[in-house]
Every structure is written in C-alpha cells, then in structure tokens.
Amino acid sequence: MSLPPPGPDRAAVVTGASSGIGAEIARELCRRGHAVVLVARSVDKLERLAAELGDRAHALPADLSDRTARADLLGRVEALGLAPDVLVNNAGLSTLGPVAKSDPQAEMNMIEVDVVAVADLCSRFLPGMVERGRGAVLNVASTAAFQPLPGQAGYAAGKAFVLSYTQSLAGELRGTGVSATALCPGPVDTGFGEAAGFTEEEAKKALPSIMWVDAAKVAQAAVEGMAKSRLVVIPGGANRAASVLAQIAPRSLLLPVLAKQHPGLK
C-alpha cells in the first residue's frame, strides 16, 4: 500500500524533527496535507517548526534515549485524538573516533537512539497500523549501512541494523496494508557532522561534492519513496552508485581507504 491518505483524525509522527532531514520530512508531509507530530528534545526548535507549519502540527518534546519517554509516546499521540498512520524514525546521532579511545556512555547512548529506539517505536506503533489496515514506516538509515566505517564504527553498524530490520519488516508486512521503507542518505549538510565532532570542511574533504544532497531533496525523495512503497531510497545518483560499489568491494581493499580518509582517525 502507498502512503496512507491524510485525515482529520490521522497524523504522521516524525522523530528528530527539530532540524535537518526530520524537519524537512515534516514540511513535505504537511505540504501533502498530513497532520504531523514533531518529536525531539529541543522544545524551542519544535515549537518554532510547529508554528511555521500551522494548526495541524503538534510539538511533543521527548528524549528518545529515555525508554520511559519512548514508552509514553504512543499514548501522548493518541491523547491528541490522532491515529499515527505514519511513523518516521529519523532521530539519530554519531560518535567520532576509534573505539579504543571511545567514551562507553556516549557509545551506548548512540546505540540507544540509533538502534534500540527504532525497534522500540516500531514495536509500539505497528500493531495499531496493522489493526487499522493502513500505515507507513520510514526508518532513516544511511549509505554507511552498506559498508564498515572506521572512525564511526558504532554508527555504521547501527545503520546496517536499521536497513536490515526495515527490510525484514517489509517482508512481514506484506498484505497488511502497511509498508516499510529505509531511507539511506549520503552526506547532507544538516549540522549532523558538527554534532558528531568533525567540521563541515573536514567532511567535504573526505566526501566529493557530487555526493552531497540538500536536506529538502532528501525529504522529497523519502516521502515519495513511502508513497510508492519503495523498500530502500538512496537520494542522489552518486550515492546509489557508491552504495553498490561499497557492497561488492573486497573489505581488504576498502577498509584501508576508508580509514585513511576518515576525519575521525586523523
């Protein structure tokens, strides 16, 4: 089934909606007539985006690294009188540097948000979608899901989980009226890298300009992918080609190249 049609008692829940790809996906869904529930930690940013999007946008601040906050989220959406027909698991973060020099608490927090929260929210929101016979899930992975990534080992492994998990969901959901799509963007100028610990200049040295895609274009590709029930969406021709190459390249050749150019290992 394609993206469920909007309705007065229906909504799309978008996590990590305060900026970047999440905010752009929320804007794109609103343009298509959907009510949106915006989820992130930043209260001020969520409220500004909700005000921009109008009466059918609802800000629900939540820390998705907190298991209690995640457990409460479905009930908070339903308390608004809305059935969550679309779930966009976009919230995510990365650490930077070799595992041997990592902060265990930061590593576990990343896995909690990038991996555990995705599985947690899918397991909470999907039963209602299947019962209603309509729904769409978009889980945001990365082109890093197709390869190891020395310097961001936990991040790449987490995104590989998201990709595999979403593909498995799609197989389970056949015939239910609910779809599952994995979004695998390449580099996007959203401030994500700076939050991880490397500068925009370092990122653009490591990755050629042809691979960079604007966040709004990524969001358009993502929502269009949901609308067409696509299994995997990789915005940008260069990123699609690179993801194929990454899967077939011998790891003995690929790993030294990746480690040499990664800013986290300089």
Chain center to CA of 11: 18
Counting every residue written for the chain, the total comes to 266
**3-state secondary structure string, the chain?**
CCCCCCCCCEEEEEECCCCHHHHHHHHHHHHCCCCEEEECCCHHHHHHHHHHHCCCEEECCCCCCCHHHHHHHHHHHHHCCCEEEEEEECCCCCCCCCHHHCCHHHHHHHHHHHHHHHHHHHHHHHHHHHHHCCEEEEEECCHHHHCCCCCCHHHHHHHHHHHHHHHHHHHHHCCCCEEEEEECCCCCCCCHHHHHCCCHHHHHHHCCHHHCCCHHHHHHHHHHHHHCCCCEECCCHHHHHHHHHHHHCCHHHHHHHHHHHCHHHC
Instruction: Specify whether 155 is catalytic.
Output: yes
- Annotated active-site residue in 125, 146, 155, 161: 155
- Active site residue ranges: 155
